[in-house]
Amino acid sequence: MYAVELSTVTRKKTEAPVRERLSRETIADGAVALADAEGLDAVTIRRLASDQGVTPMALYWHFRDKERLIDGIVERLLADLVLPRRPETSSVPWHVQLREILDALLVVLRNHPAVAELVHTRILRSDPGLEITERTLGLLREAGFSAEQAAQLAIQALSTMVTLVASVPGKQVGEATDVQDQRLRAKRASLQALSPERYPYLLASADALTVCASEPEYIDLGLDLFIAGVRGVQPDLARK
Partner DNA sequence: ACCTGAACACCGTTCAAGT
Instruction: Give residues in contact with DNA (CB under 7 A).
Output: 1-3, 5-6, 21-22, 44-47, 49, 54-58, 60-62, 65-67
Closer residue to its own copies in complex, CB, 181/217: 217
Contact, 173 vs 35, CB < 8 A?
yes
Residue 122 touching its own copies (CB under 8 A): no
Cα dihedral across residues 37, 39, 44, 47: positive or negative = negative
Helix (H) / strand (E) element for 183: namely: helix 177-192
Read off φ and ψ for residue 134, nearest 5 degrees: -60, -50
Residue of 125, 111, 115 lying closest to 32 (CA atoms): 115
* Cα 152 off chain centre by: 19
Amino acid code (one letter) for 110: R
Closer residue to DNA in complex, CB, 31/102: 31
Residue 149 touching its own copies (CB under 8 A): yes
Least gap, CB of 40 to its own copies (angstroms): 14
Least gap, CB of 17 to its own copies (angstroms): 35
Residue 152 touching its own copies (CB under 8 A): yes
Q: Which of 39, 144, 169, 174 binds its own copies (CB under 8 A)?
A: 169
The length of the chain is: 240
Residue 130 touching its own copies (CB under 8 A): yes
Q: Which of 124, 176, 189, 238 binds its own copies (CB under 8 A)?
A: 124
Q: Residue 31 binds which one of DNA, its own copies, none, with CB within 5 to 8 A depending on kind?
A: none
Contact, 129 vs 123, CB < 8 A?
yes
Q: Residue 180 binds which one of DNA, its own copies, none, with CB within 5 to 8 A depending on kind?
A: none
Q: Residue 57 binds which one of its own copies, DNA, none, with CB within 5 to 8 A depending on kind?
A: DNA
Least gap, CB of 144 to its own copies (angstroms): 14
Residue 209 touching its own copies (CB under 8 A): yes
Contact, 169 vs 209, CB < 8 A?
yes
Q: Residue 141 binds which one of DNA, its own copies, none, with CB within 5 to 8 A depending on kind?
A: its own copies
Angle at 183 between CA 164 and CA 162, to 5 degrees: 10
Least gap, CB of 3 to DNA (angstroms): 5
Please classify residue 235 by burial: count the beta carbons closer than 10 Å to its beta carbon, then call 0-12 exposed, 13-18 middle and 19+ buried: exposed
